[in-house]
Amino acid sequence: MTVASYEIDAMPYRTLTIQEVARMLGADVRRVERMAQRGEIPCQKVGGQFRFNRAEITEWLQQRVGGMSDEHLAEVDAGMTEQRKTQQDEAIIRPLLRIEAVTTNLGSRTKDSTLRELVALAEKTGLVLNSRELVEAVLHREELYSTAIENGIAIPHPRRPLPYAIAEPILVVAKTTQGIVFGAPDGGLTSLFFLTASRDDRHHLHILARLCRMLYDEDFVARLQDAETAREMIELMKDREFEVVSQ
């Protein structure tokens, strides 16, 4: 797929209506309205109607996706599928899996060095146009809050799309045997990493929701942690996504 075939969203800061936010979240309008009234979602009221800044909603959703229930993740996945006009059973993780960007043997021992090693793996795909910008973006994200979630998993990613730093969406899958202190909410070490970056915010959110749905299964996570080769990790990821979209 060529670079030109990917949408570069030129209006990440435009205002969204409550109907648009509901579609993004895969929720009904009344539910979003209740969330807005309770202050659970960033918004402002203009002329008696709720309005939502797209960049703020994207940021808000990124921060919460790792802690969502399986049911809520499925709703967001469905909402982004509709927004991006993709098929319900379309694989969006599988096309991103490249053998050169998957490893079972990360060597880094600190958070910053791990992020740099993950970006170095991304560079091996030939899709990184500006590695410095990508490194700075993921480091900045971790400074704001950790992308680590429970069960020894982290999903490092930039806060914003990087249309000029990458040629196509990127996914790096990596694990380490020793575990790294990465700021996980349960206080545990992190051993599985999924670095992702996209060229538009809707694709980015879709990837995050789909990944979290896949990783919600503890047995699948255990199989990934036990995988001995990059090829085995890729096949596990492909099979798991097929299971998720077939539900």
72: domain CATH number?
1.10.10.10
Range of the domain at 23: 3-83
Q: Pick from 61, 83, 105: which residue ends a domain?
A: 83
CATH code, domain with 232: 3.40.930.10
Q: Check whether residue 34 and residue 111 sit in a common domain.
A: no
Q: Which residue reads 């694990």 in tokens?
A: 175
Q: Check whether residue 224 and residue 113 sit in a common domain.
A: yes
Q: Is residue 15 domain-resident?
A: yes
Q: Pick from 38, 62, 83: which residue ends a domain?
A: 83
Q: Check whether residue 71 and residue 113 sit in a common domain.
A: no
What mean pLDDT is predicted for residues 169-182?
95
Q: Check whether residue 75 and residue 117 sit in a common domain.
A: no
Q: Is residue 204 domain-resident?
A: yes
- This prediction has a pTM of 0.87
Q: Is residue 62 domain-resident?
A: yes
Q: Check whether residue 239 and residue 148 sit in a common domain.
A: yes
Proportion of the chain above pLDDT 90, given as a percent: 73
Q: Check whether residue 176 and residue 62 sit in a common domain.
A: no
Residue 39 has pLDDT above 70, yes or no: yes
Q: How confident is the model at residue 13 (pLDDT cuts 50, 70, 90)?
A: low
User: How many domains does the chain fold into?
Assistant: 2
Q: So what's the pLDDT on residue 55? A: 85
Q: So what's the pLDDT on residue 8? A: 39
Q: Check whether residue 76 and residue 155 sit in a common domain.
A: no
State the Cα–Cα distance between residues 156 and 114, nearest whole angstrom: 10
State the Cα–Cα distance between residues 74 and 91, nearest whole angstrom: 14
Q: Is residue 89 domain-resident?
A: no
Q: Check whether residue 147 and residue 113 sit in a common domain.
A: yes
Residue 155's contacts (CB-CB under 8 Å, 6 or more residues apart) are 66, 147, 149, 193, 194, 195, 196, 208, 211, 212
Q: Check whether residue 98 and residue 217 sit in a common domain.
A: yes
Q: Check whether residue 65 and residue 107 sit in a common domain.
A: no
Q: Is residue 121 domain-resident?
A: yes
Q: Is residue 88 domain-resident?
A: no
Q: Check whether residue 222 and residue 140 sit in a common domain.
A: yes
Q: Check whether residue 142 and residue 69 sit in a common domain.
A: no
Q: What is the pLDDT of residues 141-152, one digit of tens each?
A: 999 989 999 999
